[in-house]
Amino acid sequence: MLIADDFAARSHELVADIARRAHGALRVPVLAGLGSVVQGLRSIASSRADADLVLRTLTDRPGDPEPCQVATIDEVWASATLSALAHVLATHEVLPRSIGPGIRAHDLQHGTTYAATILAYLDANSDVVAASHRLSVHPNTIRYRLARAEGIFGFDFADPDERLVLWLRLRLGDQLGW
Instruction: For residue 12, give the amino acid letter.
Output: H
One domain, residues 17 and 84: yes
Determine whether 50 is exposed, middle or buried from the number of CB atoms within 10 Å of its CB (0-12, 13-18, 19+).
buried
Query: Are 37 and 116 members of one domain?
Result: no
Q: Which of 34, 61, 91 is the last residue of a domain?
A: 91
Residues 145 and 110 in one domain: yes
- Beta strands, E only, the chain: 30-34, 68-72
State which of 91, 120, 148 marks the end of a domain: 91
Report pTM: 0.65
Q: Give the orientation angle of helix 114-123 with respect to helix 99-110, to 10 degrees.
A: 130
Indicate the residue among 91, 107, 137 that finishes a domain: 91
Based on the fold, state whether residues 84 and 151 are members of the same structural domain. Answer: no
pLDDT per residue, tens digit, the chain (178 aa), is 556 678 778 888 999 899 999 988 999 989 999 988 888 888 899 999 999 999 988 988 777 778 889 999 989 988 888 888 877 777 775 555 567 788 988 999 999 999 999 999 999 999 999 999 999 999 999 999 999 999 999 889 999 988 988 888 888 876 766 6
Give the residue numbers spanning the domain of 120. Answer: 99-176
Count of the separate structural domains present in the chain: 2
Residues 6 and 79 in one domain: yes
Task: Look at residue 98 in the predicted model and tell me its pLDDT.
Answer: 67
Whichever domain contains 164, its CATH number is: 1.10.10.2840
Does residue 131 sit in the same domain as residue 158? Answer: yes
Query: Does 82 lie in the same domain as 138?
Result: no
Q: Do residues 114 and 34 both lie within one domain?
A: no
Type of residue at 165: V
* 110, 43: one domain: no
Q: HEC string of 8-51?
A: HHHHHHHHHHHHHHHHHHHCCCEEEEECCCCCCHHHHHHHHHHH
On whether both 76 and 149 belong to a single domain, the answer is: no
Based on the fold, state whether residues 86 and 110 are members of the same structural domain: no
On whether both 80 and 23 belong to a single domain, the answer is: yes
Each residue's pLDDT tens digit, 51-63 = 999 998 898 877 7
Mean pLDDT across the chain = 87
